[in-house]
C-alpha cells in the first residue's frame, strides 16, 4: 500500500524542525511511500527546501503562489499525491520509524477508510509539572481519556491522521472555512469537521492505532500558564462553534467531559487526600482552572454562534469577511 505523506511549511524560523519532520518521513520502515512538501507562499523558503529535498527520490516540492493557510495547503498536497493513502504531519512533529507501517496495519486489519495514531510530547524546554494529562490536547498531544486502546474515533490530531485518497477526494478534503487563517481566526477543528463529515457520509470514523506514534514539539511558550489558559478558552469557543456549524461533530467532547467530572477529577481528589503532594495539588488546581477556561470559552462561543444548526461553514466565512 503506497502512502503519500503531506508536509506543509511556511515559517523559515522553523526550518530545522521542518527538516526533522521531513527526515523522519524519509526514514520510515514502510518503503512504499512518498513525501509531498507544500511551501505556503514563501519563495525563499521554497528555494531552500528545493535545494535540500528536490532531487530526492519519492519527494515532491510544491510552492503555493500565495499564503493559502494550512487546510488549503493540505488539500493541495493531497491533490498532488499518488498514494492509495494520504497522511498528514506538521512541520513541528517527528514521526516514529514505524508510523506508516502502523497506519497501514490499521487499514489492512480493519479495512477502514481513515486511520490515525497517537501524539506524544517532545518537551523542548522541559515538561511543566502542573499540566494535567487530561489537558495535553492543548499542546497538540493525545490526552488522557481520548480512547482506551485501538478503536474507531471521530478524528485524531491533524499531524497524525490519514485517509484513503479516493475517500478524501470524494469528501472534498478539508474545509478551509473551518480553520487555518481563513474565516474565524480563533476557530479550530479542521480535522473535527472532516471526521464528522466522513462519519455522516460513510457511517465510518477514523481507526485509532495508539502504536502509530508521532512526537509533537512543545516549545517553551506553549508551557506558559497564561498561554495555556488562553488556548483552553479558544478550545471551548471552538467546541461550541463546531457544535453549531457541524452538529455531527459533538458527542466525543461530551463523553470526555463526563469522564473528566465523573472519573478523573474524583480520582485526583481521592489520591490527593490519601497522599498529599505539591505536584498533585498543582495538577488538580490546573485541571480546575483549565476546565473553567474551556467553559468560559464555550459560553462566549454560544453568544456568537447561536444560529440554527443548518447554518453552514460557508456562511460563517462569508459573515467573517463582511
Closest C-alpha to 146, from 135, 162, 161: 135
Total residues belonging to the chain: 322
Cell numbers representing residue 262 in the block: 465523573
Determine the pLDDT at residue 315: 39
Determine the pLDDT at residue 307: 53
Q: How confident is the model at residue 94 (pLDDT cuts 50, 70, 90)?
A: very high
Report how far residue 105's alpha carbon sits from residue 107's, in angstroms, rounded to the nearest whole number. Answer: 5
Q: How confident is the model at residue 248 (pLDDT cuts 50, 70, 90)?
A: low
Determine the pLDDT at residue 181: 34
Determine the pLDDT at residue 177: 78
Residue 129 DSSP symbol: T
Query: Which of 19-28, 117-126, 255-264 comes out lowest in average pLDDT?
Result: 255-264
Cell numbers representing residue 267 in the block: 480520582
CB 286 within 8 A of CB 132: yes
Q: Cα dihedral angle (108, 110, 111, 113), rounded to 10 degrees?
A: -110
CB 171 within 8 A of CB 194: yes
Closest C-alpha to 214, from 10, 4, 21, 17: 21
Q: Containing domain of residue 113, as a range? A: 3-321
> What is the C-alpha radius of gyration for the chain, rounded to an integer number of angstroms?
20
Percent of the chain with pLDDT over 70: 89
Residue 140: which CATH number?
A: 3.90.550.10
Cell numbers representing residue 79 in the block: 491533490
CA 39 from chain centre, in angstroms, equals 19
Determine the pLDDT at residue 61: 98
pTM, two decimal places? 0.88
> Each residue of 223-238: b (16+ CB within 10 Å) or e?
beeeebbebbbbbbbb
Question: Domain count of the chain?
Answer: 1
Amino acid at each position: 500500500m503506497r502512502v503519500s505523506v503531506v508536509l506543509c511549511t511556511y515559517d523559515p524560523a522553523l526550518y530545522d524542525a521542518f527538516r526533522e519532520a521531513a527526515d523522519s518521513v524519509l526514514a520510515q520502515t514502510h518503503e512504499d511511500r512518498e513525501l509531498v512538501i507544500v511551501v505556503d507562499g514563501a519563495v525563499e523558503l521554497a528555494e531552500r527546501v528545493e535545494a535540500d529535498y528536490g532531487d530526492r527520490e519519492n519527494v515532491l516540492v510544491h510552492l503555493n503562489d500565495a499564503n493559502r493557510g494550512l487546510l488549503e495547503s493540505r488539500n493541495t498536497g493531497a491533490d498532488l499525491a499518488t498514494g492509495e493513502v494520504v497522511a498528514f504531519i506538521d512541520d513541528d512533529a517527528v514521526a516514529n520509524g514505524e508510523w506508516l507501517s502502523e497506519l497501514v496495519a490499521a487499514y489492512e486489519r480493519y479495512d477502514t477508510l481513515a486511520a490515525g495514531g497517537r501524539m506524544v510530547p517532545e518537551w523542548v524546554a522541559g515538561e511543566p509539572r502542573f499540566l494535567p494529562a487530561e489537558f495535553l490536547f492543548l499542546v497538540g498531544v493525545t490526552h488522557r481519556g481520548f480512547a482506551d486502546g485501538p478503536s474507531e474515533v471521530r478524528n485524531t490530531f491533524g499531524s497524525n491522521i490519514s485517509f484513503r485518497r479516493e475517500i478524501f477526494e470524494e469528501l472534498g478534503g478539508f474545509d478551509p472555512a473551518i480553520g487555518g487563517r481563513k474565516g474565524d481566526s480563533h476557530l479550530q477543528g479542521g480535522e473535527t469537521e472532516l471526521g464528522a463529515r466522513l462519519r455522516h457520509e460513510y457511517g465510518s470514523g477514523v481507526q485509532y492505532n495508539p502504536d502509530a506514534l508521532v512526537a509533537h514539539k512543545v516549545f517553551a511558550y506553549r508551557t506558559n500558564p497564561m498561554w495555556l489558559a488562553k488556548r483552553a478558552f479558544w478550545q471551548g469557543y471552538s467546541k461550541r462553534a463546531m457544535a453549531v456549524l457541524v452538529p455531527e461533530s459533538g458527542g466525543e467532547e461530551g463523553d470526555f467531559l463526563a469522564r473528566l467530572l465523573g472519573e478523573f477529577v474524583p480520582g485526583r481528589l481521592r489520591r490527593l487526600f490519601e497522599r498529599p503532594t505539591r505536584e498533585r495539588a498543582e495538577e488538580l488546581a490546573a485541571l480546575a482552572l483549565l476546565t473553567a477556561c474551556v467553559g468560559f470559552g464555550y459560553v462566549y462561543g454560544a453568544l456568537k454562534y447561536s444560529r440554527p444548526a443548518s447554518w453552514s461553514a460557508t456562511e460563517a466565512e462569508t459573515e467573517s469577511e463582511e
